[in-house]
């Protein structure tokens, strides 16, 4: 464990599973503490896209919906937290490639016209 004069903070970073480890005294550590979703405003849209793509690739349907919402907001698309076709297209725009959309709307079932007699 850390001594009384040194503490370690672990902050969420851009890539999935990537962590940034900082060390310093307790006074400075308290001023650098940030929730992993709270630092999204400091990330560029490209970084948000990469973070989301990495998460979808690694976790499939268990990706953080908050990360999707943060990227969608930054990219200027509808914010719903769903990694669908519009979000996948926006990710591709920013990083050149993207995982396939996880959620795709099904086409409405069509019923044949009533037979006229």
pLDDT tens digits, 60-107: 999 999 999 999 999 999 999 999 999 999 999 999 999 999 998 887
pLDDT band at 117 (very low <50, low <70, confident <90, very high): low
Nearby residues of 54 by Cβ (< 8 Å), 6 or more positions away: 15, 16
Measured at the CA of 18, the angle between CA 12 and CA 24, to 5 degrees, comes to: 60
Q: Which of 103, 53, 46 is nearest to 74 (CA)?
A: 46
Q: Quick one: what percent of the chain has pLDDT higher than 90?
A: 52
pTM of the model: 0.59
Token digits for 41? 């405003």
């Amino acid at each position: 464990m850390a001594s009384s004069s040194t503490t370690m903070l672990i902050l969420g970073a851009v890539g999935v599973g990537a962590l940034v480890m900082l060390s310093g005294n307790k006074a400075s550590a308290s001023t650098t503490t940030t929730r992993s979703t709270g630092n999204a405003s400091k990330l560029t849209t490209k970084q948000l896209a990469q973070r989301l793509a990495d998460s979808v690739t690694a976790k499939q349907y268990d990706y953080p919906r908050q990360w999707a919402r943060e990227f969608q907001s930054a990219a200027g698309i509808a914010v719903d937290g769903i990694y669908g076709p519009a979000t996948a297209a926006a990710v591709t725009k920013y990083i050149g490639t993207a995982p396939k959309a996880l959620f795709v709307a099904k086409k409405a079932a069509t019923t044949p016209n009533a037979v006229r007699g």
